[in-house]
Amino acid sequence: MAYVTLELMIETFGEKELIRLTDTERPYTQAIVMPKLMRAINAANSEIDGYMTRYPQPLKVIPPSLQMTGCDLARYHACIGNAVMSEEIEKRYDKGVKNLEKLSKGLTSLGGSPAGESKPLPSSKNSVVLNVGRRDFGGNSW
């Protein structure tokens, strides 16, 4: 599912930032390197899908918070292995992953979507039930 799109990345970070993240090899083109950015967007969307298994897909409404998390993940993936990686980018990525982990464990829910449109799938509790058997010694059970 597409939580992050090219248009959303440009709207969120601006064209200059995306050029800075993707145009890192000679000859410099002073333009967004689309294959590199699309790989980053696809990686972010795939990563989010891995955490969203509790929810029926596709979501009818993608909450803005999930889109922003996706943009942060895509930004991180766009600069992996480059000198443009900053502490802020890493922190936002780590925060996004922590939020996705909480979402996948049911500790948080998808906010911003209309009621009933993005509820988690029911899951088994995998609980163990123990029954105490008869007492062979003591308790006047014989």
In a domain, 119, yes or no: no
**What is residue 111's predicted lDDT score, i.e. its pLDDT?**
63
The answer on pLDDT for 127 being more than 80 is no
Yes or no: say if 117 and 60 are a contact pair by the CB < 8 Å rule: yes
Does 79 fall in a domain? yes
**3-state secondary structure string, 89-120?**
HHHHHHHHHHHHHHHHHCCCCCCCCCCCCCCC
Assigned domain for 88 exists: yes
CA atoms of 5 and 62, how far apart (whole Å) = 12
Both tokens assigned to 104: 């996948």
In a domain, residue 101? The reply is: yes
Is the per-residue pLDDT at 41 higher than 90?
A: yes
Query: With the C-alpha atoms ordered 116, 119, 124, 127, is the resulting torsion angle positive or negative?
Result: negative
pTM of the model as a whole? 0.74
pLDDT score for 30: 92
Domain assignment of residue 59, yes or no: yes
How confident is the prediction for the chain on average, in pLDDT? Answer: 83
The answer to whether the beta carbons of residues 72 and 105 sit under 8 Å apart is no
Q: Which residues contact 1 (CB under 8 A, 6 or more apart)?
A: 45, 48, 49, 52, 57, 58, 59, 62
Q: Where does the pLDDT of residue 109 fall: very low under 50, low under 70, confident under 90, or very high at 90 and above?
A: confident
Q: Look at the chain and report how many structural domains it folds into.
A: 1
Domain assignment present for residue 53? The answer is yes
Residue that wins the pLDDT comparison between 111 and 69: 69
Characterise 100 by phi-psi region: left (phi > 0), alpha (psi -120 to 50), beta (else). alpha
Please write the tens of the pLDDT for every residue from 67-104. Answer: 999 999 999 999 887 777 889 999 999 999 999 999 98
Q: What are the C-alpha distances in Å from 45 to residues 8, 33, 42, 136, 142?
A: 13, 19, 5, 60, 65
With cut-offs at 50, 70 and 90, classify the pLDDT of residue 116. Answer: very low
- What does the pLDDT read at residue 113? 44
pLDDT score of 115: 45
Q: Side chain identity at 81, as an amino acid letter? A: G
Tell me, yes or no, whether 121 lies in a domain.
no
Q: Which domain holds residue 13?
A: 6-105
Q: What is the pLDDT of residues 8-24, one digit of tens each?
A: 999 999 999 999 999 88
Residue 18 placed within a domain: yes
